[in-house]
Amino acid sequence: MSTVALRFSPAAEHVRTARLVAVAVARRAGLGEDQLDAIRLSVGEMCARAVRRCGDTGVTEPMLVEVDDAGPRLEIVVTDSADAAEGDDEYVALALVRGLSDDMDLGDGPGGRGGRVWLSWDRSAD
């Protein structure tokens, strides 16, 4: 029960709020400044991706960012309700997130293809 979850309509204006939440939880969980920079960017990228997916497919259902600091790793899950194949424009965002997180997986969400991203950071890395 130490998950913090932020639910919001898939709009670009809320992405900054999601970054703030992820970084605030990670900071309290004791992660280092380099990891906080990585988390800020990764969560920003994955939320921007979700907003784009929802915009492209006309989805207005809220998206969700969950940050779980209970285990040995800080785990973050970003979920949207869109159903969309991987777009060409996602390449850079995904490359960045792969480069900045300790583990990253892409799976289906409640709406279909590509709607859920798992990110995690080892607490001990810094």
Partner 1 sequence: MELTVTSRQEGARTVISVSGEIDVYTAPSLRERLNELVASGHYDLVVDMEGVEFLDSTGLGVLVGGLKRVRSHDGTLRLVCAQEKILKVFRITGLTKVFPIHATLEEALADTSSTPDGADA
Dmax over CA atoms of the chain, in Å, equals 41
CB of 58 to partner 1, least distance (A): 18
3 vs 60 by CB, closer to ligand ADP? 3
Site for partner 1 in 56-85 (CB under 8 A): none
| N-terminal to C-terminal alpha carbon distance within the chain | 25
118 touches, from ligand ADP, partner 1, a second copy, none (C-beta below 5 to 8 Å by class): ligand ADP
Q: Which stretch in 24-32, 49-57, 84-92, 103-111 sits in contact with ligand ADP by CB under 6 A? A: 103-111
Given 30, 34, 60, 103, the residue binding a second copy (CB under 8 A):
60
> What is the spatial distance between Cα 33 and Cα 95, in angstroms, rounded to a whole number?
21
20 CB contacts (<8 Å, ≥6 apart)? Answer: none
26 binds, among partner 1, a second copy, ligand ADP, none (CB under 5 to 8 A by kind): none
State the binding partner of 46 from partner 1, ligand ADP, a second copy, none, CB within 5 to 8 A by kind: none
Alpha-carbon separation of residue 76 from 57, 58, 59, 116 (angstroms): 24, 25, 22, 10
Which residues here bind a second copy, judged by CB under 8 A?
1-9, 11, 13-14, 16-17, 20-21, 24-25, 28, 60, 62
